[in-house]
């Protein structure tokens, strides 16, 4: 009888992590943050020049970026961020992308005998992020997909950071490639203090 592994079931093998990152090379090789034997692959050991897919596995889901095209796959749905100004649309396909992944976490503390001690729970992961950055001539862009795990509002979202050396005003639009309507998203845009950068967040409603 063959036993299906946790990763095959799209579950994290780590009890304190809902998701693990993974990378798949063009030749089919797959690297996991933690494999089923809890062996760790450090992010810096991923050969980014060979990566075709980069994403997260956990909670019965596989969420991944198709790196050559910049398309995000969530189950059977596909999304792309369209970056544009009045003068141009920034290319996605075939552009070099540097991979990004990180977690945001907190540690609860308790006071015992007048001494602050860490909670037995250890670090609690608040959110997971996966994405990439691109440097196109005078424009720097960072695109992330975030999954909040704590707090009152746990809607997944896209976070986009755009910086440019010229005076063009770039913005980001979320394009659903599998029939999603724009009314399904809420957009928040913040102009940063340097006047040449903007931060844009696109939330699923």
Q: Could you report the average pLDDT of every consecutive run of 10 residues in the chain (205 residues)?
A: 76 94 96 94 96 96 95 91 84 92 81 56 85 88 93 85 79 77 70 69 79
Q: Which domain holds residue 165?
A: 20-204
Number of H helices and number of E strands within the chain? Answer: 0, 13
Strand order through the sheet with 185-191: 98-112, 115-136, 139-148, 157-164, 197-204, 185-191
Q: Are 129 and 101 a contacting pair, CB within 8 Å?
A: yes
The Cα-based distances of 73 to 33, 80, 177 in angstroms read 19, 9, 10
Per-residue model confidence (pLDDT) at position 166: 73
Does residue 57 lie within any of the structural domains? yes
Does residue 7 lie within any of the structural domains? no
Does residue 153 lie within any of the structural domains? yes
Does residue 106 lie within any of the structural domains? yes
Does residue 8 lie within any of the structural domains? no
Task: State the pTM of this model.
Answer: 0.86
Does residue 109 lie within any of the structural domains? yes
The Cα-based distances of 161 to 14, 83, 136, 152, 153 in angstroms read 31, 10, 13, 24, 21
Per-residue model confidence (pLDDT) at position 1: 41
What are the tens digits of pLDDT across the range 81-123?
988 887 788 888 889 999 999 999 877 665 555 555 555 566 7
Structural domain total, the chain = 1
Does residue 9 lie within any of the structural domains? no
Maximum Cα interatomic distance, the chain, rounded to a whole number of Å: 64
Residue with tokens 């999603």: 180
């Amino acid at each position: 009888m063959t036993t299906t592994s946790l990763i095959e079931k799209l579950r994290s093998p780590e009890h304190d992590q809902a998701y693990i990152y993974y990378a798949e090379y063009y030749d089919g090789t797959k690297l996991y943050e933690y494999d089923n034997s809890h062996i760790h692959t450090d992010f810096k050991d991923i050969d980014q020049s060979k990566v075709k897919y980069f994403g997260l596995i956990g909670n019965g889901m596989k969420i991944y970026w198709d790196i050559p095209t910049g398309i995000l796959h969530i189950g059977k749905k596909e999304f792309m961020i369209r970056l544009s100004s009045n003068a141009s649309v920034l290319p996605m396909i075939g552009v070099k992308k540097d991979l990004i992944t990180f977690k945001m976490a907190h540690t609860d503390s308790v006071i015992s005998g007048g001494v602050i001690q860490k909670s037995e729970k250890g670090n609690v992961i608040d959110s997971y992020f996966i994405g990439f950055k691109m440097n196109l001539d005078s424009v720097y862009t960072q695109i992330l997909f975030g999954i909040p795990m704590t707090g009152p509002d746990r809607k997944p979202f896209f976070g986009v950071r755009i910086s440019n050396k010229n005076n063009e005003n770039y913005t980001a639009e979320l394009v659903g490639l599998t029939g999603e309507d724009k009314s399904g998203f809420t957009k928040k845009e913040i102009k940063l203090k340097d006047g040449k950068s903007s931060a844009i967040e696109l939330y699923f409603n």
